[in-house]
Structure formats: C-alpha cells, structure tokens
Amino acid sequence: MNSRKKYFEVVDREVLINLMKLKTIDWYYFHKQYKLSPGQLSRSIKKLEAWKFLVIEEEQIRITEEGQKTIVSERNRIFRKNSDEDWGVEQRDRMRQKIEINQLYMPNIKKLKK
C-alpha cells in the first residue's frame, strides 16, 4: 500500500486511534465522543474504507489486519503534525499582546460591531 500520497485529516486520525484501541466501534460512538456530524464521519469512514484501513459491517466499523500493519509502520507520517498543518501557528498570529495581571482589558472599539 502506497500511503505516502494519502492525506489524513484530524477526523481520520481520531477514527484510526480509536480503532487501534477498540478494534470494532459503533458509528454512534464518534458522534457521542467527539460530536462529529454524520457527514464528517461518513466522509472519513468511506475514505479509510477505500484505503483498506477498515471495513463496515452493518453499524459497526472494524479495523482490518492490513490497516493495523499500515498504521504501525506509517505511524509517524499519519499522526505527526507537519509544520503546514500546525493550527497553533495560525492562531498565534491572530492573538493580541498579553495584558499584565490586574491591567484592564481595552477592546479595539473600531472592530466592535455597531
């Protein structure tokens, strides 16, 4: 399996992590645990099924033996965050300067909705 060309989203990673732990999971588990919408979950599950990481059996999702082997062998690439995927960098750019303890917060009045 050539998984170098595959792009794993956050939802895909959560599905794979949970499948490695539990082996078989009900679809509703992900909605209950992570508040994923049916659309998010469906896209991720269908993609991972096409890549042979899992199989769908009625309302259950089961990890395949091939999927387990691939996850273990490709774990760094699948789960490691690359610099271009790091959401924290983008957020830090948007943050304002910290205020000191006991200093009053002054909002930028020009940016407030009128």
Residue keyed to tokens 């259950």:
60
Residues in the chain: 114
Domain presence at residue 110: no
Domain presence at residue 114: no
Please state whether the predicted TM-score (pTM) of the whole model is above 0.85. Answer: no
pLDDT digits (tens, 9 = 90+) for 38-58: 888 889 999 999 999 999 988
**What is the distance between the alpha carbons of residues 114 and 109, in angstroms, rounded to a whole number?**
10
- Number of folded domains that form the chain: 1
Domain presence at residue 66: yes
For the chain, what percent of residues have pLDDT higher than 90? 34
What pLDDT is attached to residue 92? 52
- Three-class DSSP category at 5: helix
Sequence-ordered list of residues with C-beta below 8 angstroms from that of 85, at least 6 positions apart, any chain:
none
Residue keyed to tokens 């996850």:
71
Containing domain of residue 22, as a range? 3-80
Domain presence at residue 95: no
pLDDT digits (tens, 9 = 90+) for 80-111: 765 454 444 445 555 667 788 888 887 778 87
